[in-house]
Amino acid sequence: MITRLEDIVDRARQGPKRTVVVPMADDLEVLQAIKMAMDQGLIDPFLLGPKKKIEVLLAQVGLVVSPDRIVDEELSTKAATLAVDLVKHERGAILMKGLLSTADFLRPIVNKDNQLVKNGLLSHVALIQSPYYHKLLCITDAAMNIQPGFVEKVKIIENAVGLLHSLGNSLPKVAVLGPVETVNHKIESTEHAAMLSQMNREGQMKECLVDGPLALDNAISMEAAHHKGIKSEVAGDADILLAPDLNSGNILYKSALFLGGSSAAAIIAGARVPIVLTSRADSSLSKFYSIALAVATFD
Amino acid sequence: MITRLEDIVDRARQGPKRTVVVPMADDLEVLQAIKMAMDQGLIDPFLLGPKKKIEVLLAQVGLVVSPDRIVDEELSTKAATLAVDLVKHERGAILMKGLLSTADFLRPIVNKDNQLVKNGLLSHVALIQSPYYHKLLCITDAAMNIQPGFVEKVKIIENAVGLLHSLGNSLPKVAVLGPVETVNHKIESTEHAAMLSQMNREGQMKECLVDGPLALDNAISMEAAHHKGIKSEVAGDADILLAPDLNSGNILYKSALFLGGSSAAAIIAGARVPIVLTSRADSSLSKFYSIALAVATFD
Q: Which of B154, B132, B142 is nearest to B206 (CA)?
A: B154
**What residue ranges in B73-182 does DSSP mark as E strands?**
94-96, 123-129, 137-140, 173-177
Contact A220 B258 (CB under 8 A): yes
**Does the CB of B149 have a partner CB in chain A at under 8 Å?**
no
Closest approach of chain B CAs to the CA of A173, in angstroms?
18
**Does the CB of A260 have a partner CB in chain B at under 8 Å?**
yes
Supply the pLDDT for residue B228: 87
Supply the pLDDT for residue B54: 97
Cβ contacts of B228 on chain A, cutoff 8 Å = 280-281
Mean residue pLDDT of chain A comes to: 95
Cβ contacts of A189 on chain B, cutoff 8 Å = 247
Contact A254 B131 (CB under 8 A): no
Mean of pLDDT values over A231-251: 97
Beta bridge partners of residue A65, listed in sequence order = none
Per-residue pLDDT band for A227 (boundaries 50, 70, 90) equals: confident
- The model's pLDDT over A184-203, given as tens digits with 9 standing for 90+, comes to 999 999 999 999 999 999 99
* Residue B118 confidence (pLDDT) above 90: no
* Residue B181 confidence (pLDDT) above 90: yes
Instruction: Round to whole Å and give the CA distance between B159 and B270.
Output: 5
Per-residue pLDDT band for B23 (boundaries 50, 70, 90) equals: very high
- 10 Å CB burial of residue A117 (0-12, 13-18, 19+) is middle
Contact B251 A280 (CB under 8 A): no
Instruction: Round to whole Å and give the CA distance between A194 and B151.
Output: 31
Mean of pLDDT values over A26-38: 95
Helix pair B28-39, B284-296: axis angle to 10 deg: 50
**Does the CB of A149 have a partner CB in chain B at under 8 Å?**
no
What does the H/E/C string look like for B99-121? CCCHHHHHHHHHCHHHCCECCCC
Per-residue pLDDT band for A299 (boundaries 50, 70, 90) equals: low
* Residue B77 confidence (pLDDT) above 90: yes
Cβ contacts of B176 on chain A, cutoff 8 Å = none
**Three-state DSSP state, B20:** strand
ipTM: 0.94
Supply the pLDDT for residue A281: 74
Cβ contacts of B177 on chain A, cutoff 8 Å = 247, 251
* Residue B93 confidence (pLDDT) above 90: yes
Mean of pLDDT values over A127-131: 97
- The model's pLDDT over A73-86, given as tens digits with 9 standing for 90+, comes to 999 999 999 999 99
Contact B255 A216 (CB under 8 A): yes
* Residue B299 confidence (pLDDT) above 70: no
The radius of gyration of chain B from alpha carbons, rounded to an integer in Å, stands at 19
Segment holding A199, helix H or strand E: helix A188-201
Supply the pLDDT for residue A44: 97
Share of chain A above pLDDT 90, in %: 93
Of B142, B245, B260, the CB nearest to A260: B260
Question: Chain A window 158-187: which residues touch B at a Cβ cutoff of 8 Å?
Answer: 177-179, 186-187
- Chain B residue with minimal CA distance to A248? B248
Contact A255 B258 (CB under 8 A): no
Beta bridge partners of residue B149, listed in sequence order = none
* Residue B74 confidence (pLDDT) above 90: yes
Mean of pLDDT values over B214-224: 96
* Residue B25 confidence (pLDDT) above 90: yes
Instruction: Round to whole Å and give the CA distance between A157 and B153.
Output: 32
Mean of pLDDT values over A288-297: 97
* Residue B281 confidence (pLDDT) above 90: no
Q: Which of B40, B63, A223, B112 is nearest to B22 (CA)?
A: B63
Closest approach of chain B CAs to the CA of A15, in angstroms?
33
Neighbours of B280 (CB within 10 A): 12
**Does the CB of A279 have a partner CB in chain B at under 8 Å?**
no
Of A215, A246, A254, the CB nearest to B216: A254
Cβ contacts of B189 on chain A, cutoff 8 Å = 247
Winning range, highest mean pLDDT, from A99-103, B73-77, B110-114? B73-77
Segment holding A295, helix H or strand E: helix A284-296
* Residue A280 confidence (pLDDT) above 90: no
Contact B258 A146 (CB under 8 A): no
Of A147, A217, A245, the CB nearest to B254: A217
Per-residue pLDDT band for B82 (boundaries 50, 70, 90) equals: very high
Contacts of residue B89, defined as CB under 8 A and 6 or more positions apart, other chains included, come to none
